[in-house]
A and B are shown apart, each in its own frame.
Chain A
Amino acid sequence: MLKRCILAENRKLHASPIWAMFFVLPILSATYGTFNYLQNLEILTDGWYSLWTQHTLFYSMLFFPAMVATYAAYLWRLEHLGHNWNLIMASPVPPLDLFAAKFAVVTKLALLTHGFVFALFVFCGKVFAHLPGLPPVTLPLFLLRGLLGALAVIAAQLVLAMIIRSFAVPIFLGLLGGITGIFISSKGHGLLWPYSLMQLGMNSNRSADALVGSYGLFAFSCIFWLGTMFLLAWLLLRWEDVRA
């Protein structure tokens, strides 16, 4: 049943305007990052690492949560339109499968976005910044860590978009989540807040690894928030009923 739900969710993305954002945001982020790197070569002397910070700084802190929020809100909006909510509540599908299918599809989009970000990073590094060799292995690792952290953000945004019937409000809350993540990270409590996890994983604002010695705690925090959001979604969907 979950597989069928995933196929249905994938079909909803066909010819969706969401793909425009998928391409535009990473390109803008890469353009700005490369420009800023080339303008500050006297300060940014760490080669690929410096370019990485410029490419991913605003992307991971502010715009990734908003982008994921848009993906999530778009998928739930369809259920909030017309009588679709009653339809899904009355369909012979375990409610958590609906949530898990949406989670799988948004995760797929986030994975593709991350891949696109990395491709742009390598392209800009070679073509515009003329950096030698290939990026260090640690940078794709940062990207994977970022994706692990992003899972909590995706689940949180899906819960918000499920509860709030408005399309716009969860997106704004996603942006707010990113901002609160910056502050909580700056106070050193980033591992306690889901919106900080992706930022920490990406290591986008420092040359030294932000997670040295705390990989276990990072993984635990990611799993904890992911589990909490799934549990919350399950409870809410069990409690929710048709709206006659």
Chain B
Amino acid sequence: MSSDSAFVRATDAVKAQLRTRLQPVWAVLCTVLAPLDRAIQPVADLYNRSLGRHFGTMTGLQFGVIALGFGMIATVPFWSPFYSETLNITFAVASIWAIFAMSWDIQSGYTGYISFGHSVLSGAAGYTIGLLILHYDPSMGPLVTIPLAVLASLVLGLVIAVPSLRLRGPYFSLITLVGVLLFTNLIFAFSEWTNGELGIHQVDPFTYEPWIRYYYMAIPMLVIAVGLTYVARSNVGMVLLTIRENERAVSSAGLDPTKFKISSFVLSSIPMGIGGALLVYYGRAINPVSFVEISNSIEIIALAVIGGMGSIIGPLFGSFLFFFLEEELLRDFIEDSSTRTLVLWLFVLGVLVFARNGVFRVVWHALGAVRGDSE
């Protein structure tokens, strides 16, 4: 690491300043929160003894905040009207993007092989549905189209992963980058089939009832979150993380790094397909701009970075935070949408510079340390 570079020294100095300034606030928080932490501990221990083995153990406060977070996500339609009329919609969209961010994380966040083109996977699923409905049978329901859509992104995942992940180093990232550009251009090249820029609009939604629609997005998201957290906490997560830290060590352990890299990409492409299908039925349409173009891939990375790469749950909350800021909180202060986007990306940059392990991890470690047990 170039720990002596001027930039790193400057940011470290700012971080140290912040830490000293916040020390009194932190001390007050600790005295307030420590009893609460102790109070919840017995409940957390129940979880730790039963499911903790598979999903990681937690302190009282960590458990409390996770339970509160998931409780709030599970009840958005009931409390969101008290905040704003649109929050319901914002969090439905955040759920879909949380699926994308978590899917990206199990592959790129864990193995360190950064994909710049994950939106081709959701795009493949989306266009499969769009093309089936437009050209094959308009009456096809989601029970038929969604499995086919997921299959399409799985196949595309294999097509990308097998040649590119055999190589070590930056080639994988470059190939995903080219892949997303290629896919975008294919949509335009076959405009008579895909309607080009206009996209396909003949998709019927799951339902017109907003609160039910929220659950159509949130429930699959929560199921995927549990599934991917389990995988990440299993030995698979350990192998993927070792690929990121030292790929040779994986070979020395008698494990084939290529096999694990390809498998993680394929595993990632399944929820990407599900998310892509949900996005089609949510927006009742599919077009290159909001599905496939590279900016979508970059946004997926941003969500994961905000929450914290390599943690699954981090990207989930990162997505909710990002969309809450973009569509709700910042909207109240900043009228102009491009200024809002600028502020958001400055926020992403800030996270990368000052908390590169993600906002979620900072909060998580703070919650775990209120009793002064760790560090």
Asked if A pairs with B, the answer is no
Chain A interface (Cβ within 8 Å of chain B)? none
